[in-house]
Amino acid sequence: MSVDLLLSRLRRVRRVGPGKWSASCPTREDRSPSLSIREKEDGTILIRDFGGDDVASILAAIGLAFTDLFPKQPGYSKPIKRPFNASDVLDMVAFESSVAALIASEVLRKREVKEEDFDRLLTAAQRLGDAAEACNGPR
């Protein structure tokens, strides 16, 4: 979609710079335009409402969808959505690595490892593998 189609569906549109506009938010009555629109060089359109309305509501009010904000490019596919926050995954990796290190130190000291500790080591290994898959996608 071109930025012109988006702008044609808004009120009180004003150019504020190269590839930048302001407009009234279509989800409510603005005293002054609170919607900021920017077209990036690759054709991606960025929208931000300084009045606090979310982009999904704004797009719904003018009959558009998120996909309309991105240029259609050959070979383009949606990015893979990761189910976890990266910092959460790193925290889990640090914890599970500590569990594995503690159990491994018992093995190195030739101490007897209880079956429940060995099972916990296997759980840690599984979780570490899951974390790698969550960050990198399936292999």
Q: What's the per-residue H, E or C state across 15-78?
A: EEECCEEEEECCCCCCCCCCEEEEECCCCCEEEEECCCCCHHHHHHHCCCCHHHHCCCCCCCCC
Tens of pLDDT, residues 87-111: 777 888 889 899 899 888 888 898 8
How distant, in Å, are the alpha carbons of 12, 77, 78, 91, 93 from that of 84? 40, 20, 17, 11, 13
Low-confidence stretches of the chain (pLDDT beneath 50): 139
Q: How far apart are the C-alpha atoms of 63 and 80, rounded to whole Å? A: 26
Domain boundaries, the chain: 3-69, 86-136
The pLDDT > 70 percentage for the chain reads 86
pLDDT of residue 78: 55
Q: What is the pTM of this model?
A: 0.52
Residues 41, 57: contact at Cβ < 8 Å? no
Q: How far apart are CA 120 and CA 31, in angstroms?
A: 61
Which residues, at least 6 apart from 33, have a Cβ–Cβ distance to it below 8 Å? 12, 14, 22, 23, 24, 25
Sheet containing strand 11-17, strands side by side: 11-17, 20-24, 35-39, 45-49
3-class secondary-structure state, position 115:
helix
**pLDDT per position as a tens digit, 121-130:** 888 988 888 8
**What pLDDT was estimated at residue 23?**
94
